[in-house]
Amino acid sequence: MASLQLQAVAAVLALVAGAGAAHSFEFHEATVEAIQLGFSNGTLTSTALVRFYLDQIGRLNPLLHAVIEVNPDALRQAKHADAERRRGTATGSLRGVPVLLKDNIATRDALNTTAGSLALLGSVVKRDAGVAARLRRAGAVVLGKASLSEWANFRPVEAGWSARGGQARNPYVLSSTPCGSSAGSGVAVAANMAAVTLGTETDGSILCPSSFNSVVGIKPTLGLTSRAGVVPITPLQDTVGPMCRTVSDAVHVLDAIVGYDAQDAAATGAASKYIPHGGYTQFLKKNGLKGKRIGVPNGFFQGYDQTQLNTYKQHLATMRFVVTVYISLSMDEYDRQLTI
């Protein structure tokens, strides 16, 4: 226990002390903010980032089956973003950031949109899905399509299995379920195959794979994001949301994809009026846990064996210890170290 706590505290202190230090770009676990900082200070290019993720996919995907296909146009998009940056004309909150889309989200490009089924292989869609169009307007590079439970689990299959993609595997414990149906999105972002991904949910398909792959998923309110161009299950429940490594990344992506879409007018028209002026990133606060209490439901792990229960209690104690240490750091000291 003490060892785990010391490791966790060391990680927190390293983040605080090293956040502003000048180093070459660290690709692994890179956040959207770190990527944008790398672009602005010249330590990173979109081309280098796309090549890194393509290499990760090439090395890890034969084992994890998180990506159904990569976009042959991804490097060209990255080079275009780099050229715009050099000219000073780059715009968009995700300019040059690679994104993987779940394979039930349509893209009007060289990629297939099949929901994991061989039946749709080779079909051509009329237009980008609403969320895909918004990502392009935000400057994102469409890296490829993430695997999923075929037909988003509308066809009963093993979680994360599709005829096109095979069986997606949890990158932390290969024998554990990656959960579905946005399994590929969760696995890919956890294994550093993309900066951010999109998933879809009808009933647990963002939240479950996010939980099982230790990433952050946001299931938006119905209609907050457009479902146009997404292979449907039911308009009463379908929604599209980000799956990322951090809360901050997920919120940045959410800001890029929310809003009215004439192709999904009824739902997005009703929900878009609730989007806060200035977007959601304004609510990201580095000292947001200060003064907060985290509730843990009694009996949440009831019915699990003693090994799992002990592991749960151990990690809960570690989290309590780390949060206590983190929020006890004065924000003045935190700010000072960030500017070193």
Which residues does the annotation mark as catalytic? 102, 181, 205
Strand partners, 161: 167
Residues 323/294, Cβ–Cβ less than 8 Å = yes
Could you give the residue ranges of the DSSP H alpha helices within the chain?
2-18, 32-41, 46-64, 74-87, 130-137, 183-190, 207-212, 247-257, 265-272, 306-328, 331-338
Structure tokens at 6: 């010391």
As a whole number of angstroms, the distance between CA 131 and CA 225 comes to 7
Structure tokens at 191: 């294994």
- The helix-helix angle for 46-64 and 183-190 (nearest 10°) equals 120
Structure tokens at 129: 């899905």
Residues 321/5, Cβ–Cβ less than 8 Å = yes
Residue in the block written with tokens 């919120």:
251
